[in-house]
Structure 1
Amino acid sequence: MDKQEAAAAWYRRYRSLRFKLALFVGVAALIFGAVMWFGKKVLSVAPASGVPLGECVRTESHIASLIQATDPHLPEISGRGGNTTTSVSILIIPLDGSEPKKILIAEGLTSNQFALAKILGSDGQVLWFDVNGIGGVDLKRMALLQPAEVRDPDVPKSAWPFAISADTYLSAGFIVAPGQWLGLHSAEDLGGEFAPKKFLRRVVSQPLRSARGDGIPVRRFYRGVLEAPVDEKYHRIISMDPLSNDAYFNAAFLRMDDDAEPIRLTDPDGALMIHTSEPGLKGTTVISRIDLDGRVIWSVDTAIDRFKLLQILPGKESFAFVGTRLPVPDKLSEPLVVIVDIESGETSTHSLWR
């Protein structure tokens, strides 16, 4: 009996020890899990605002931009950021003024997985993108396509592989009627290619800066008298006379592309002008509607730094302008998309910090 009692006592001690060990392991696992959760959720570095990735793209009814943001992560002791990953979303801004929508495309991406990310364009139904693979957003549902819905996108491919400069959409003037020219010219222009006896074409670009590179050109409205065209292409200048003394910094007319004349507006007849609010480093981008006598109908200040205007996205009813605000000491300049209605001048401004 003594042996049986001793064996039973040993077994009871064994069971008690095993229970305590299991309890210890369970509690330790719970503590470890809590620490890991706490580290990820509380001690992790919170993501900063998302920033634009690549160029904005205009569709028939939207402006779209990719947005990248660093995923939440534990603090990096080395400071190299080697273990951080990135999320990429697409921001879709309706042209009708309704609320923009940000849609997550992918998260946990390494830098080489989104280095070549870009928006490919729209076929009217789907907005296509390449972010670590082809994908799309159904513009009706405002939702990502399912993998089975993805196909080769049928969108126009640009013949020009590089970013289109905002200067592409700037023009020096246009023929308002047979033998009559309305232009925005500086004193330097009048002594050069727009001097009497020189020849001009219907489509004339406008340089951003003075040809001498000595600062922002000051331009005024001029009415030109032209001879009948030679070969229906070149017009000889008879005279150029100022319409007023009103001066505009870095002024030009807006157009749809580099092969087009400035866009023409009606009621009253006129055009759109882009210019800089003031000389120096604090000038912002201003859009004005003018009539054919050079009178300003309305003006709107986009708040975009004139020399940080990155994109002009033209359309039949509105123009969109992409760039950053004026610099603030020790801070990054906020990237903006500003949409201007070409008839009324009504604007909507959207931050690309998301």
Structure 2
Amino acid sequence: MRRLLALFLALFLSISTDSALALHTVEKRSAVAALASPGLLVMDQGEKRVLAENKPDSLRIPASVLKLLTAVVAIQNLGADTRFTTSVMKMAKEDEILIRGSKDPFLTTSRAIADKYGHKNLLSLLNKGNPNNLKRIKIFYEGLYPKDVYNLSVAMKNKRVKAKFIEVSSGQADEIGKDEIASITSAPLSKMIEHLTLWSDNLVADRLADAAARKAGNSTTGSGLTSTYKDVLAGLGIASEGLKVRDGSGLSKKNQVSARMVVELLMAIRKDSKFTSIYEGLPIAGETGTLVKRFEKTPDAIGNVRAKTGWVSNSVTLAGYVKSGEKEYAFAILADGIIPSLKYRNRARAAMDKLLEVVVKGDH
């Protein structure tokens, strides 16, 4: 009996010590100078137990981690199956063309980008509206982003076509447009989200934020974006006091988010199948997307971390999911006190990679 009791105590103490050591090691890793006291939270999703934290409610510059919020807001407001259509139409005169768009976030005038990422080629569509290759044309348009119009104008110059671009309202387009010549329809929003999270596409992120705000009836800058994001988070039961959103991409240093907001959002993503494209699109440590060259010195983490990267100026960030055995943790590391140089940003990234490897290897 004594031997059995001794064995039980030895086993209990061993497990307790290992678990405490693992927790201590994670928190120790979060306190390294390279991370400059980040906003940090690591949570067991199943038990909702905090594994490690450091100022999780402090507001930080999220950089491209903000794209996680943008993805959720876009799906919530627009729908994962939403597609965008752009048409070219005849007008009364042969040298006049009407383009009617729906502000497709995935439009491009680059064949290479269209072929590689599945974007729709606006230039190819326009060419169908000018079958006789006229060298002087007027292009009336509505529902295009200014960047798309600019890219088209450059493409026309490269083709030695003198094109005059004239923006019209939707009502005017109804009056001047005749028969549709051709149209293109985008991939579903869910595919855009996968692309967004895998490659951290800033243009697509800003356009999705714009579309989500317009759908909500809000302005597409400043307080309008913030209100749009806050409303979606509130609908998911996530407190967002202090949240500031100035763009959808995370490029603005005026964006403000806490690690807790991000982690609670990550847990909400895993609970609802409509957000599957966000999880599926996240880069995998050492294998895909923006994480393909990360974790080289922390091999145990390779394949066990799915996360969104980010950096802007003095902020280096990472947020997503890390697996340890049968468990999956949601985490956010927002280090916005980094000296703005490549050397210090790389040190911060290495520290994050090591911290997550500790989570992977720990006995929690």
Q: What TM-score, normalized to structure 1? A: 0.29
Q: Looking at CA atoms only, which structure, 1 or 2, has the larger radius of gyration? A: 1
- Considering fraction of residues, name the structure with more helix: 2
Using the size of structure 2 for normalisation, the TM-score is: 0.28
